[in-house]
A and B are shown apart, each in its own frame.
Chain A
Amino acid sequence: MSELRTDPRNPWADEDGTVPPDSWGRGTGPKHTLPWGFALVVVLLVVGRFTLAPHLTAPALQTWATIFVAICVQALPFLVFGVALSAAITAFVPASFWTRALPRHPAAAVPVAGMAGAVLPGCECASVPVASGLMARGVPPAAALAFLLASPAINPIVLVATAVAFPGQPLMVVSRFGASLAVAVLVGWLWLRFGRSEWLPIPSRPHGDGPKWARFGEAMRHDLLHAGGFLIVGGLAAATLNVMVPREWLAALAEVPWLAVVVMALLAVLLSICSEADAFVAASMTAFSPTAKLAFLVVGPMVDLKLIALQAGTFGRAFALRFVPLTFVLAVLVSTLFGWLLL
């Protein structure tokens, strides 16, 4: 641990050196230390409110702040819901349930888990903690990953939103469902075949032996503190790019068909729009081909800035480094195929 204590990137490593890292969110060290760090934050907030606030009125800054706060505020209820569901899975659902509910063979469990994604009515922020809870409960990682990718894209709310945004184009809904499920299952199988366990440390959970409700609260707090911070990182990046990259740059690229697909896929990553709203945005990009719009709809719920931050925070960087490019490439290829066949 000594090298961690001197790690300059880890200013707080000193303090939690004696504490098991994953237990952040649990009782630590001296119980009644005064929260000086927090007091400092409050002082900064109060001082800033009265001295800086009148000067923070530049339109660019305000627009950035509006989009940043909007992304956070919009994602927060879904994150809380996902974290609660995940904590409920760990605290109330016995591990034996999953071994009975899923086919024994992992290769068969992957498509089943992907289809199960259709029942979780949420966007991508909810699915990350739920998938991590499933893994902690003994679900094969490949199956949990298929669920993670499928659920934000193919649940009923998102499909209805897509149908509303593309009236008279039911094939768009069909393609979205098919392509998203195909990508989720393919990624699951690839991970099963080539994935290594050291890339994906199964997220460990606080295992309090107290009453169920106390354990539920502990698991929720632990997940919220980990995932919440990373959600903010993603929100910061998405808001910055949203303000800095003018969308008309992209319209010029829409002329070249294959480039249009890649551009829309990248745009989906950068904008980090909630999967329940992305269909409306895709529909508004009138310059782009249907296949490019499909790529936007398939990539967005699986790979975007806030999601990358959340995944890196929940499952580790070694995982995100491999999982994100794999998902992105597969999503672009599969949506091109579906667009070519159906649209």
Chain B
Amino acid sequence: MSAIAFPAPDAGILARRDSILAGLSRLVAPDALITSEDERRPYETDALTAYRRMPLAVVLPSTTQEVAAVLRYCSEAGVPVVPRGAGTSLAGGAIPQEDAVVIGVSKMNRILEIDYASRIAKVQAGVTNLAVSGAVSADGFFYAPDPSSQLACSIGGNIGMNSGGAHCLKYGVTTNNVLGVTLVMLDGSVVEIGGSHLDSPGYDLLGLINGSEGQLGIVTEATVRILRQAEGARPVLFGFPTSVEAGAAVAAIIGAGIIPVAMEFMDKPAIEICEAFAHAGYPMDCGALLIIEVEGSEAEMDAQLARIVAIAREHGVGTVKESKSAMETAAIWKGRKSAFGATGRIADYICMDGTIPTGQLPYVLERMDAIVKGYGLRVANVFHAGDGNLHPLILYNCNDPVEAQKAEDAGNDILKLCVEVGGCLTGEHGVGIEKRDLMTFQFNEADLHQQQRVRAVFDPRWLMNPAKVFPLEGRIAA
């Protein structure tokens, strides 16, 4: 696939590669600078594997000071920089370019402080999402945002993309759970934004940094909220005849004043794919499946489930199946969270991430099906039903360039549909390179220019993650 353009590499930078590498080698430990082609290869793409570019070099600093030294050097030398967490971006947010230095935070993987009295954890940016919860789970706490890639993805990357997850219906996304960051700016200055308190003075720079896709600076440390686990949690499977009934049940549950901790939707193709992989006991005789998780004491969960089941029955639910054990619970979530990986076993796919107003669900599902069929392809749908964040997986064969192009076109049509019905291009994966050229469907010129002017305050020369988020044409700087 080659539909998404990259800027032409700067020949002057390529010609200066040796001197740039020499400059970098003076700033970091020898094993922190990766220059050989073989060792750079793992960094040429992220989870949007259809696109890849070999970076000029990769630097893996161990300290904030090293990040600052490298950024200052790149800024002075005019060399583009691509920040990288764990490289799990589905939107191509960490894909490099030939004239850029990748700065990865993977070596900065220490948990620095845990304070239960104030319910915060301070961690380095390379710590994985799951490791934060892992560090506090024995004491009954957890870190709430839970992207499906949580085993691998880093807190730094989560902040860059403002990641979500299945449980953000109740607990919010990354931006609602980060209290402070240490940010290295392009000129090498190190600033503390926020801290272990709420609501910092001045403009909400913390809110701006979350989801800024590595274009404003590099986050090296973060202070995050940790929460006490509920007494118990129980997912329940609800099999509906079609997605229409399932969608109506979701609206009715919320309308009844119930906010389950998670409400996940799968359509028939997704159920089949995930069940074959995880053996989670998903009902196979339904057209749409909801996984609804409730929390609390046993009695509280029983009471809340009774209400939810009653609503589901009014909407024609066929199967209701409660998890009876921790093992069943794990299998139910394993199936859902490995939906992308399981799909990858049967076909190549691209994963969309639009959000829609939930009331538009039946219409959008029908239109999506028609769009994908129109291109002669198949789609499997998994999504966060409570907040309308869709993840259609468009299946195709990546060895067939015509089909690959069709898959990308179908994806773009779906995202335009999301915007058309009042939603947005991306709910939790970020724009990256993938949705960059669609930004004009959601934003007009004044909207985009205002964003770019804010961006330029931090990086007037477009050196930070330059090929991402904003269309290559019509950019404005300071």
The finding on whether chains A and B are genuine partners in a shared complex, rather than unrelated, reads: no
- Residues of chain B having any CB pair with chain A under 8 Å: none
- Residues of chain A having any CB pair with chain B under 8 Å: none
